[in-house]
Structure 1
Amino acid sequence: MTTTRLTRYDRSMLRLMNDRRGQALYSTAARRRLTVAVHIALTVAIGGLMTHFFLAKGEPLWPAVAMVVLLLPWMVATGIINGATRGLLELREHVLDERQSAERSRVVTRAHRMTTLLLAAAATALLITGGVDGDAPKAYAAPLLIAVLVVHWIMPLWVAGLWAQDEPADVETPEAGALGH
């Protein structure tokens, strides 16, 4: 951390992101990967429901209700990933130490490289689909671009969750008297 004074918000967020009560949910790499996979699946489901809601004729209400229902587990999964990364992406820069700041930069760089590839794939898919049909699929262009924007926004969280390291095990050092000296 730098010598900048922490605000009440900074102290509150630092306490929240370093709260270890939920550690069992993300203590292993497999659990973190599962949480990220669930978060991705929920994000895709919510995005698909949102697309259906806006593109469907007659605009049924069930997709909106399903989105609201899926939002709670999505928020819980977001919290688990943030706990696993100790708030790497949620804490303000001046609260992070040098190692965390460097890790944040690596995560954001990796995530942006991945979203650049995703954006290129989305643009290519639209161009190929438009070339095959002779007309660009206008109805799907906006939802696809919104989906890529959402992924661009969330990708650093997913990358941070996947790249988070296990907590070091508490190593108990034997007392000098316990060694028989």
Structure 2
Amino acid sequence: MMTDQQAREMTGYDRRMFALMNRREGTPFYATAARRRLAVGAHIALTVASDAAWLLTVVGDQRWAMWTMVALILPWCFATGVINGATRGLLELRERALDERQRAEKARVAARARGLTQWLLLAAALGAGAVALQGWDTEGLLFPVLFTLFVLHWLMPLWVAGLAVKDEPEDFEDPEA
């Protein structure tokens, strides 16, 4: 719940974003844990496909991959919106628009995402070391691997937050009323 002090500190932008992130129209897409997992899984799959298409466009000079990226952008944005709606904008809202519980949850999500990204970076470093020990030619792999790791670092908090969201309590109706 937002305090009066927080409401006074919020700018017009903060109020609009808060209202947008707390709209209820998208609830059917993230109402259950299974749907949230599906949205995060779809977002991961769309991100992998978009990342691969972009790399094929830039590094592989494949023109058709650009059209693949164009086709993937709307579903990717929709999945992003579903996750943001499920988390009530936890990662999109400024600190002043979050209550204490949300701030603590944001810190937990960031720490968990940082830990997962750290393990992915370690795996990449070990993989690079193993490839170097074998003497394989890796000249063309540096940029795609680093770009993919950047994308994972950027989106990991969103995915972790989407998977960490708890079901909202059912509306309690008093049988005596």
TM-score range, shorter chain: over 0.9
Structure 1 position 16 matched with structure 2 position 17: no
- Equivalent in the alignment of 1:50: 54
What residue number does 1:173 align with?
Answer: 174
Query: 1:38 — aligned with what?
Result: 42
Look up the equivalent residue of 2:126 and give its one-letter code: T
**Structure 2 partner of 1:138:** 139
Match of 1:27 in 2: 31
Unaligned runs of 5+ in 2: none
| 1:136 positional shift | 5.2
Q: How many residues align?
A: 173
Q: Which amino acid aligns with 1:7?
A: T
The amino acid of 1:169's aligned partner reads E
Offset of residue 123 of structure 1: 1.4
Question: Per-residue displacement from partner, 1:65-123 (whole Å, max 9, x unpaired)?
Answer: 10111011000000000000000000000110000000000000000000000011111
Q: With the length of structure 2 as denominator, give the TM-score of the two structures.
A: 0.93
Query: How does 1:1-181 map onto structure 2 within 5 Å?
Result: 1=2, 3-4=5-6, 5-56=9-60, 59-132=61-134, 134-135=135-136, 137-175=138-176, 178=177
* Aligned equivalents of 1:67, 1:159: Cα separation in 2: 24
Structure 1 distance, partners of 2:156, 2:106, is 13
Misfit runs of 4+, over 3 Å: none
Shift, 1:129, TM fit: 1.4
How many angstroms apart in 1 are the aligned matches of 2:27 and 2:122? 37
Distance 1:138 1:110 in 2: 33
Larger Rg: 1
Q: Evaluate the alpha carbon distance shift between residue 136 and residue 102 of structure 1 in structure 2; reply closer, same or farther with a 3 A threshold.
A: farther
Contact 2:56/2:62, CA 8 A, preserved across alignment = no
- Give structure 1 stretches of 5+ with no counterpart: none
Residues 36-92 of structure 1: CA deviation (Å, up to 9, x unaligned): 000000000111111222232xx2311011011101100000000000000000000
Percentage identity across paired residues of the two chains: 52
3-state SS of the aligned residue for 2:141? Answer: helix
Alpha-carbon distance in structure 1 between the residues aligned to 2:121 and 2:82: 27
CA distance in 2, matches of 1:131, 1:47: 28
CA distance in 2, matches of 1:60, 1:17: 37
For the Cα contact (< 8 Å) 1:126–1:141, is it kept in 2? Answer: no
CA RMSD of aligned residues (A): 1.3
Residue pair 1:107, 1:160 contacting (<8 A) in 2 also? yes
